[in-house]
Amino acid sequence: MHGASLRCSLPSLLEDHPLDTMRPGDVFAMNDPFRGGIHANDIVIFRPVFAEGRPRWFGGTLIHVADVGGAAAGGLAAVATDTFAEGILLPPVRLYAEGAETDVMRIIGRNSRVPDKVLGDVKALVAGAHTVARRVEALVERYGADGLAAFVEGSLAYAERRTRQEIEALPDGTYRGSFTIDTDGISERTFDVAVAVTVDGDRVVVDFDGTSPQSGGAINSSVSQTTSGVIFAVRCFLDPSIPMNDGCFRPIEVRLPPGTVVNPSPPAACGGRIVTVAAAIDAILDALSGCRPEHGVAPSGLVQVFTLTGVDDDGARWITLLYEFGGIGARTGSDGPDATGAFFLGGRSVIPQIEPLEGQYPFVVRRSRLLPDSGGPGRWRGGLGVETEIELLVDTVVGVRGDRLEVPPPGARGGEPGRPGGWELRRGDGTVDRLGSRQSGVEAKAGDVFVLRTSGGGGLGPVAERSPDDVRADVAEGRVSPEGAARDYGVEVAR
């Protein structure tokens, strides 16, 4: 989901700091969403690599760092209404000048609720950029600066050539797609992401004309983030083995109307942009499946993020930020994978395990299971969501942020939607409080059980075309209940 992040940031750096002002040992930091950044927590570091006395290349790194201030701990300002509520903003600034740390480091630390953590993260980014630079320098030593430059251009040209060859194989034409975002958590309206993808010989134009104006909430997706989504979605229709570099972008023109959710104007909040970039990707997948009918995919459940925080016995604050994933949409010819997030996310390996969590925090996980019947029914079934129950052992404050919960991932080509996920608190007195998609500061008591369910992926193709054997196999493996088989597929399965 960061395929375009460094390429979108670098021009702003060069605008503010021309090459001839850079010195060996300089390191730059930036995160401004309106200058190529994504949102405040995604800090980008650049370190110039000098050859023959001038900067020829940059080592660049990016991670989501720990808290950088703003209205909510950990960058989860679910209902931020402008960028200033989301943390400290960094235009391109020197973090190190000729090897010496600048005061910027102290400013970043002072603006964080967990200064040690965030500075540790920033220093890790710097160490990464140094490593890149050292290795590039070793290449310069071995091949010479011009030799390396020739290789770099060669590999960019190679990726470009293969991308063009693959685009050329797509039938020419303009293909339209769209996706509607259910809510921004602030206003009463929905948001459309509309796209027209024009395949013209060996090039592609992706135009978001017709997309809704930007949100007063946090769901806006910066140019950088939207562009990452575009390159991801287009690449899904090309040979996946093409190496990823800037050459892949050369045949692709991206048109982002200003003032929309895919290219917001300042001071829009951008931290909740996952839902929008996912919408942009699903709109493009929808559009391009028009030229490649065998490439049909249904939309997926997305990531659900939540924080649990409290004060332990000796008065210290504890806070943990956790994720769960929805089911992936069905693909032509294949059911969607379970609980592994949208196509552009990285998979379940980022979700912490229960044993180490219970060792660190005052809660007990009572169950974590695939949710039967949550995958959207269809000729091809959507992937399943999950249900996790967490028993809170102490008074805890809960914050949640989820998307595609009010309107679940829709089906495609006659398939049914996935079952929507959600959040709830089962109180000690037996009452159940349903939480909204995005909510922070929810107070829970010791003994309450926090429940999260993620959405299933959408189904693809009419249910009637699903083979009863596949339905029976789903029942045997617990992905569909016998009741669900009868209700959703009309297939009776003995218990």
Partner 1 sequence: MRCFAGVDVGGTFTDVVLGTDDGRTFVRKLLTTHADPRDAVVEGLRLALADAGAAPDDLVRIVHGTTLATNVILERKGGRIAFVTTDGFGDLLRLGRDARVEDDRYDLWFTTPQPPVERSLTFEVAERTLADGTVRQRLEPAEADRVAAGLAAARPDAVAICFLHAYADPANEAAMAEACRRALPGTFVAASSEVWPEVREYERAMTTFMCAYVGPVMTTYLSGLRQRLVDLGIACPVEVMESSGGVMSAEAASRRPVYTVESGGAAGVVAAGALSRSLGADRVLSFDMGGTTAKAGIVTDGAPGLTHDFQIGGKGSFGGTRPGTGFPVKIPVVDLAEVGAGGGSIAWVDPAGSLRVGPRSAGSVPGPACYGRGGTDATVTDANLLLGYLNPDGLAGGVSLSRAAAEDALGRAVAEPLGVDLVDAAWAVHEVANAAMAAAIHVVTVQRGLDPRDFVMVGFGGAGPMHVARLAQSFGIATVAVPWAAGVASALGLVSADLSVDRVRTRVTALVPEEADDVEARFVALEQECRAELGAEGRTTVARSVDARHRGQAHQITVPLLPGAVTAAAVPELIERFREHYRDAYGVQLDTPVELVNLRVRLTRLVEKPPAPVAGAPVAGGSQVGTRPARFADVGTVEAPVHRWERMGPGDSLVGPCLVDGTDTTVVVPPGHRAEVDARGDLVLTVEG
Q: Does residue 366 belong to the site contacting partner 1 (CB under 8 A)? A: yes
The closest of 314, 272, 312, 276 to 440, measured between CA atoms, is: 272
Closer CB to partner 1, 113 or 235, in the complex: 235
Could you tell me which residues are beta bridge partners of residue 297?
Answer: 331
The closest of 176, 174, 177, 178 to 198, measured between CA atoms, is: 174
> Which residue of 197, 370, 392, 463 would you call a contact of partner 1, by CB under 8 A?
370
Q: Three-state DSSP class for 302?
A: coil
- Taking CB under 8 A as the binding criterion, the range among 95-103, 191-199, 303-311, 361-369 that sits at the site for partner 1 is 361-369
Closer CB to partner 1, 11 or 346, in the complex: 346
Fill in the amino acid letter for 152: V
- Measured CA to CA, the distance from residue 68 to residue 30 in angstroms comes to 13
Q: Does residue 334 belong to the site contacting partner 1 (CB under 8 A)? A: yes
Q: Does residue 492 belong to the site contacting partner 1 (CB under 8 A)? A: no
Structure token pair of residue 47: 């370190």
- Taking CB under 8 A as the binding criterion, the range among 54-62, 170-178, 258-266, 364-372 that sits at the site for partner 1 is 364-372
Q: Which of residues 8-67 bind partner 1 (CB under 8 A)?
A: none
Q: CA triplet 109, 115, 116: central angle to 5 degrees?
A: 120
Site map 338..357 versus partner 1, x via CB under 8 A: xxx--x-xxxxx-xxxxxx-
Residue 233 CA, distance from chain mean position: 13
Number of neighbours of residue 290 by Cβ within 10 angstroms:
16
> Which residue of 64, 203, 295, 426 would you call a contact of partner 1, by CB under 8 A?
295
Q: Residue 483 to residues 100, 411, 417, 491, 493: CA-CA distances in angstroms?
A: 67, 21, 18, 9, 8
Q: Does residue 171 belong to the site contacting partner 1 (CB under 8 A)? A: no
Q: Which of residues 209-268 bind partner 1 (CB under 8 A)?
A: 232, 235-236, 238, 240-241
Burial (CB count <10 Å: 0-12, 13-18, 19+), residue 316: exposed
- Measured CA to CA, the distance from residue 325 to residue 304 in angstroms comes to 6
Closer CB to partner 1, 258 or 346, in the complex: 346
Q: Which of residues 299-318 bind partner 1 (CB under 8 A)?
A: none
User: What stretch of H or E contains 173?
Assistant: strand 173-181
- Taking CB under 8 A as the binding criterion, the range among 18-26, 414-422, 439-447, 471-479 that sits at the site for partner 1 is 471-479
- Measured CA to CA, the distance from residue 172 to residue 235 in angstroms comes to 17
Q: Which of residues 114-133 bind partner 1 (CB under 8 A)?
A: 116-117, 120, 123-124, 127, 130-131
Q: Which of residues 374-403 bind partner 1 (CB under 8 A)?
A: 386, 389
* Ordered alpha helix ranges (H), 17-144: 104-110, 115-143
Q: Which residues form the interface with partner 1 (CB under 8 A)?
A: 116-117, 120, 123-124, 127, 130-131, 158, 161-162, 165, 232, 235-236, 238, 240-241, 285, 295, 297, 331, 333-334, 337-340, 343, 345-349, 351-356, 358-359, 364-370, 386, 389, 476-478
